Chains A and B, each alone.
Chain A
């Protein structure tokens, strides 16, 4: 593989990884606050159509991304109302959000079928973004850098700020956090909205960056991979970054192997392609097993994850 091809390959892998990184980062914060939102796929689809529709109407992909974030957050708040105000089952409500998001995005998308927008590509001058070597640094959509910045911000927020400490407290022991005066429900609403906004931007990455068009169900299950990614990263943002690119590498390897790219190697071509497709999930299981072996006290999962907050108990 020549250096030019290696650079193009890196760009491909970053493209595959960025949407699951965005959505996974949002879900990580939600789960850190003790809420399990399985509606990532639905929120991504809502973000994808909202971002696309906003861009078609306004002509600005920046506004499109803001629209996607707002729509994702709004969908997430609907979920939040059900699980926080009405204490509905989080797993069932999350699945319902996915089904709802799939249907709603298809419905809204009816008026946007066949439309296209300019791809939301690099904002650097062509001397940098088109250069065969420098484009490995400058050839990406602004959203790729945004995702990286968000990893740093989320890591910092969770680790080093008072707000992050409160959020983690709410996720680890909601009753204690409540008893010392923090608004458990308020923190969870904020986390859920943030998760929805990030999933929305991740979804819009499909409809504005990878393929600047709207197609029903265009996220094709990436929301589920984002959910697996959070577990794979054992709820740590820096590990989520590594995990997202690692999952991207695996997804690329599947395609590369199928195209005969590994045919020179002795064993690999004999591996069925379905094996590669299952790898992200398989790796998540392996990591879960490793975590429980290493850390007998339990995994890094927030203690209140998925449990309703009932003060009357």
Chain B
């Protein structure tokens, strides 16, 4: 019943979002209209919040040349199809679908609208009018892992995951690999909660990780709830998607911020210029897409120095966390000494590295 209602609601919300746009079509002919499909509410202070900041940055940068519309709370199932189609029907010539679970829906609707450009976030399926774009969050995760490896007293780290999809698996692997460079015995407990956004479940899962022995937790879900649990327990963790220090001033050590504005601006400009091409864009720290928030006072100076080394390594290209030797959970050598996993290999990663403990 919950799912049915939510779907109905989303369709209603999609339709409601569509209504006000009809009136603006007449004078919108010369402007580029850019559509966004958002997974959560723009007020989640995480993933969707960051994408909406990117949209606002694009709007500011390009001003009168474009207008943008968005639909929030779009489920990652078949109900996304009419939402994407509506945006195209309303005259959007560039549509960003901002979550992994919209992959097939984006490809399907893109087939119906060959003159509309689509960009799907974190997926891997391309078409003539479909690009994919992603951010190398795992670079940031290596910085957090370094901090955790040095600051964890128990050597047991916690990871609150959403779904077992490559973009999450990459972070789950990057984090302990970096920690193990500082503390070879470090292990990682992982809980996947099968949701991107469920604050009470995120909080309960964080407490469960702590009860399983973790004393520092990083998250790949979208709300600040885990940080608030850590704050109440007097332990540490990291923000995800945005600087969340205001929600947990003591627990928050730093955060991985997603900065999408430059990408959205560049791609909208490319459509305006007629230079847009289907591409696979995967940017990281060096492009300013992945940013590490300021460290809190709780991070000691020697830890800051080591964390900054990782950052510097990514900035000048001298460091990559996925450089062998890397072993999987069974102890099998997966990446040979000196070899580095390519971005194509990372995009389909579905195994966990040594030290990861999870039932999934």
Q: Is A95 an interface residue (CB 8 A)?
A: yes
Q: Is B311 an interface residue (CB 8 A)?
A: no
Q: Which residues of A contact B175 (CB under 8 A)?
A: none
- For the complex formed, measure the closest distance between the CB of A150 and the CB atoms of chain B, giving whole angstroms: 20
Q: Is B224 an interface residue (CB 8 A)?
A: yes
Complex Cα distance A222/B360, Å? 24
Complex Cα distance A113/B208, Å? 27
Which of A210, A216, A252, A274 contacts B194, CB < 8 Å?
Answer: A274
Which of B43, B44, B191 contacts A258, CB < 8 Å?
Answer: B191
Q: Given the known A-B contacts A256-B212, A259-B212, are A213 and B224 also in contact in the complex, defined by CB atoms under 8 Å?
A: yes
Q: Which residues of B contact A218 (CB under 8 A)?
A: 199-200, 223
Which of A114, A121, A255 contacts B204, CB < 8 Å?
Answer: A255
Q: Given the known A-B contacts A119-B228, A220-B200, are A215 and B208 also in contact in the complex, defined by CB atoms under 8 Å?
A: no
Q: Is B229 an interface residue (CB 8 A)?
A: yes
Report yes or no: A12 in contact with B207, Cβ–Cβ below 8 A. Answer: yes
Pick the interface stretch among A58-66, A76-84, A175-183, A261-269.
A261-269
Report yes or no: B199 in contact with A256, Cβ–Cβ below 8 A. Answer: no
Which of B1, B199, B232, B357 contacts A206, CB < 8 Å?
Answer: B199
Q: Which residues of A contact B360 (CB under 8 A)?
A: 258, 273
Q: Which residues of A contact B228 (CB under 8 A)?
A: 116, 119, 210-213
Complex Cα distance A221/B194, Å? 14
Q: Is A5 an interface residue (CB 8 A)?
A: yes
Report yes or no: B73 in contact with A217, Cβ–Cβ below 8 A. Answer: yes
Report yes or no: A259 in contact with B2, Cβ–Cβ below 8 A. Answer: no
- For the complex formed, measure the closest distance between the CB of A114 and the CB atoms of chain B, giving whole angstroms: 6
Complex Cα distance A112/B194, Å? 27
Indicate the member of A15, A214, A217, A263 with the most B CB atoms within 10 Å: A217
Complex Cα distance A270/B1, Å? 28
Q: Given the known A-B contacts A114-B246, A215-B44, A261-B212, are A220 and B198 also in contact in the complex, defined by CB atoms under 8 Å?
A: yes
Q: Which residues of A contact B195 (CB under 8 A)?
A: 220
Report yes or no: A211 in contact with B212, Cβ–Cβ below 8 A. Answer: no
The majority secondary structure among interface residues of chain A is helix
Report yes or no: A12 in contact with B194, Cβ–Cβ below 8 A. Answer: no
Count class of interface residues, chain B: 35 or more
Q: Is B342 an interface residue (CB 8 A)?
A: no
Q: Which residues of B contact A224 (CB under 8 A)?
A: 1-2
Which residues 30-77 of B sit at the A interface, judged by CB distance below 8 A? Answer: 40-41, 43-45, 73
Report yes or no: B357 in contact with A260, Cβ–Cβ below 8 A. Answer: yes
Q: Which residues of B contact A260 (CB under 8 A)?
A: 189-190, 212, 357-359
Q: Given the known A-B contacts A211-B228, A216-B43, A262-B359, are A256 and B73 also in contact in the complex, defined by CB atoms under 8 Å?
A: no
Report yes or no: B223 in contact with A269, Cβ–Cβ below 8 A. Answer: no
Report yes or no: B208 in contact with A99, Cβ–Cβ below 8 A. Answer: no
Q: Which residues of A contact B203 (CB under 8 A)?
A: 15, 210-211
Report yes or no: A215 in contact with B199, Cβ–Cβ below 8 A. Answer: yes
Q: Which residues of B contact A109 (CB under 8 A)?
A: 43
Report yes or no: B359 in contact with A259, Cβ–Cβ below 8 A. Answer: yes
Q: Which residues of B contact A95 (CB under 8 A)?
A: 5
Q: Which residues of B contact A119 (CB under 8 A)?
A: 228, 232
Q: Which residue of B lies closest to A223 (CB)?
A: B2
Complex Cα distance A12/B45, Å? 24
Complex Cα distance A261/B73, Å? 33
Q: Is A219 an interface residue (CB 8 A)?
A: yes
Q: Which residues of A contact B194 (CB under 8 A)?
A: 273-274, 277
**Chain A window 97-119, contacts with chain B (Cβ cutoff 8 Å), 1 for yes, 0 for no:** 01100100010011001101001
Q: Is B94 an interface residue (CB 8 A)?
A: no
Q: Is B197 an interface residue (CB 8 A)?
A: yes
Q: Is B211 an interface residue (CB 8 A)?
A: yes
Q: Is B9 an interface residue (CB 8 A)?
A: yes
Q: Is A19 an interface residue (CB 8 A)?
A: yes
Give 23 pairs: A residue, B residue, CB < 8 Å, sorted on A. Answer: A12-B211, A15-B207, A98-B5, A99-B5, A99-B8, A113-B45, A116-B246, A116-B247, A119-B228, A213-B225, A213-B247, A215-B41, A216-B43, A220-B199, A224-B2, A258-B190, A258-B193, A259-B190, A259-B191, A259-B205, A260-B358, A261-B208, A262-B359
Q: Which 3 A-B pairs have the closest CB atoms?
A: A216-B41, A220-B198, A255-B208
Not counting A121-B232, A258-B358, a sample of 13 additional A-B residue pairs whose C-beta atoms are within 8 angstroms of each other reads A9-B211, A38-B1, A98-B5, A99-B8, A102-B9, A106-B41, A119-B232, A210-B203, A215-B199, A215-B223, A258-B192, A259-B191, A261-B208
